[in-house]
Amino acid sequence: MSIFNYIISKTFLKNILLAIGVLVALSFAAYKWMDVYTHHKEVIIVPNLSKIQLTQVEHILGNSNLSFAVIDSLYREDFDAGMIIDQDPKSGSQVKEGRIIYLTIATGNQPKVPLPNLLEMSLRQAKIMLSNSGLQLGEVTTQPDIFTTNLVIEARFNNQILRTGEMIPKLSKIDLVVSINNLDSLVAVPNLVGLSIIEAEMLLGHSLLNLGSIIPVGAVSDSTRLYVLRQKPASGSEPSLNVGSIVDIWVEQK
């Protein structure tokens, strides 16, 4: 039988169809196996772990067939030690079973920073240096001095006199004693209305005045959106105040 006659014979066609059928069956079986092996179209929604204690994470993720690894720890004033600060992937993400969730947790050890040299600096310079060092300006008091005015004489923390370079918990408020050559010197009351709390405190500091009570007006859900509604004493209501006096403010959320 010639090759041409064999190619057009029923035997050859049957063999070709059989080979194609076997190939299709093998391909389908391989596809289904890969589908099962990779859990195709089966996803798990990553739960929200924010502010969850690390000791609870294993139970939560174990129920979801996920695992976790701690990759970093940070100090956060608004998080208790051991709480989850951040996660990757984020909550709500769709992942496959067995995915590792990478966690950043809160540490209870507040980092410390050295106190910068504030002596003989102006109050404005001292506040900038404190901010650059991760510290905050606390109360400002005055002390009479016949030679200088508005220069830092002393820095205190928890009523203890500090030395330059002393290690202080980060974000702490440092109280300053500022020289003034006349204790009865008067300063004008600045207008704080419309300013944020941070802006109002900064402006008072520049005026050698202190921020007193912060009184909310209405509901407050976001402290970063609070602005001064009114103040006491009001700007212009009294010609001036003694250095170091307190100004109370009422704030509302915008």
pLDDT, residue 184, reads: 56
Length of the chain: 254
Listed residue (210, 212, 224) closest to 250, CA to CA: 212
The lowest-confidence range among 1-15, 17-31, 62-76, 140-154 is 1-15
Q: How far apart are CA 219 and CA 222, in angstroms?
A: 9
CB distance 254 to 221 below 8 Å: no
Average pLDDT, the chain: 83
| Radius of gyration for the chain, computed over Cα atoms and rounded to the nearest angstrom | 35
pTM for this model (two decimals): 0.48
Tokens of 84: 């989850």
**Greater pLDDT, 12 or 100:** 100
Q: pLDDT band at residue 175, thresholds of 50, 70 and 90? A: very high
pLDDT digits (tens, 9 = 90+) for 212-233: 889 999 888 887 889 999 999 8
Phi, psi for residue 211 in degrees, rounded to 5: -80, 130
- Does position 103 have pLDDT exceeding 90, yes or no? yes
Tokens 């440092």 -> residue: 174
Q: pLDDT band at residue 33, thresholds of 50, 70 and 90? A: low
pLDDT digits (tens, 9 = 90+) for 117-137: 999 888 888 988 998 999 988
Phi, psi for residue 29 in degrees, rounded to 5: -65, -40
Nearest-5° angle of CA 33, CA 39, CA 41?
115
CB distance 144 to 175 below 8 Å: no
Ranked by mean pLDDT, the top range of 2-16, 54-68, 164-178, 200-214 is: 164-178
- Does position 2 have pLDDT exceeding 60, yes or no? no
pLDDT, residue 183, reads: 53
Average pLDDT (55-64) is 85
The verdict on whether omega for the bond into residue 169 sits within 30 degrees of 0, i.e. cis, is no
Tokens of 254: 């915008």
pLDDT, residue 141, reads: 84
CB neighbours of residue 94 within 10 Å:
10
CB neighbours of residue 178 within 10 Å:
23
Tokens of 15: 């063999």
Q: How far apart are CA 58 and CA 100, in angstroms?
A: 12
Side chain identity at residue 17, one-letter code: L
